[in-house]
């Protein structure tokens, strides 16, 4: 077992409307996602990666920092003018039941979750567009699939827990870049299907 396997992932929980609104912005989600996947970066590096103006990236970082999503990494700076940023946590979590009886906060959570799903959709379409330039072994190793079953609430909870365990095991193994690796995304959803 490596140090990466033993690392306990840290998380930030969404309990208030301010944090939800701060993160319910596609550019801020992309900034946070890059810091989580690629590690610390400067405004300039993030600006290049996102094709966004440095002023805009700086504004998004300040907003994320105000709500505890990112923090400065001053130990990485080579001089006083250089500012590095890192994610303050490995992932974000929330409990939809917490806001079930609060319409305003529930609306904020729903908007945040819609932005998350739209981000997933954009990533999947980008991956599809990039596939023709990808080496055959990477295309062959990728998968896009779904399944459906008739389950009880307890069985759905068990399925979700098993998928979460698989996600965490592979996330732990791939925390840092190694020779021969590339950034890989795995997105899972378990949910009750709406009846037609």
Q: What pairs with residue 72 in β-bridges?
A: 85
**What proportion of the chain, given as a percentage, has pLDDT over 70?**
95
Confidence of residue 196 (pLDDT cuts 50, 70, 90): low
Mean pLDDT across the chain: 90
Kindly tell me if the per-residue pLDDT of 33 is higher than 50. yes
pLDDT value for 78: 87
Kindly tell me if the per-residue pLDDT of 100 is higher than 60. yes
Kindly tell me if the per-residue pLDDT of 195 is higher than 80. no
pLDDT value for 79: 86
Cα separation, 105 vs 56, in Å, equals 27
Q: What six digits make up the tokens of 81?
A: 């003018």
Kindly tell me if the per-residue pLDDT of 31 is higher than 50. yes
Confidence of residue 75 (pLDDT cuts 50, 70, 90): very high
CB 65 within 8 A of CB 22: no
Does the reported pTM lie above 0.75? yes
Kindly tell me if the per-residue pLDDT of 187 is higher than 60. yes
Give the pLDDT mean for 45-68.
96
Residues 147-185 have pLDDT tens digits of 999 999 999 999 999 999 999 899 889 888 899 999 898
Kindly tell me the sign of the dihedral angle through the C-alpha atoms of 52, 70, 92, 165: positive
Kindly tell me if the per-residue pLDDT of 55 is higher than 50. yes
CB 93 within 8 A of CB 164: no
């Amino acid at each position: 077992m490596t140090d990466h396997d033993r690392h306990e992932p840290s998380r930030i929980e969404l309990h208030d409307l301010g944090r939800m609104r701060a993160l319910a912005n596609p550019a801020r989600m992309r900034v946070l996602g890059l810091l989580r996947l690629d590690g610390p970066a400067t405004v300039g590096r993030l600006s290049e990666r996102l094709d966004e103006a440095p002023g805009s990236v700086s504004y998004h970082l300040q907003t994320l920092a105000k709500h505890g999503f990112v923090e400065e990494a001053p130990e990485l700076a080579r001089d006083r003018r250089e500012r590095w940023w890192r994610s303050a946590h490995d992932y974000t979590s929330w409990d939809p039941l917490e806001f079930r009886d609060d319409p305003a906060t529930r609306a904020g959570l729903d908007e945040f979750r819609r932005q998350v799903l739209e981000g997933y959709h954009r990533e999947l379409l980008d991956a599809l567009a990039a596939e023709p330039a990808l080496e055959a072994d990477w295309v062959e190793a990728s998968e896009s699939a779904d399944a459906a079953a008739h389950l009880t609430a307890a069985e759905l909870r068990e399925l979700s827990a098993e998928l979460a365990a698989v996600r965490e095991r592979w996330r732990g193994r791939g925390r840092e870049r190694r020779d021969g690796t590339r950034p890989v995304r795995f997105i899972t959803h378990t949910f009750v299907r709406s009846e037609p």
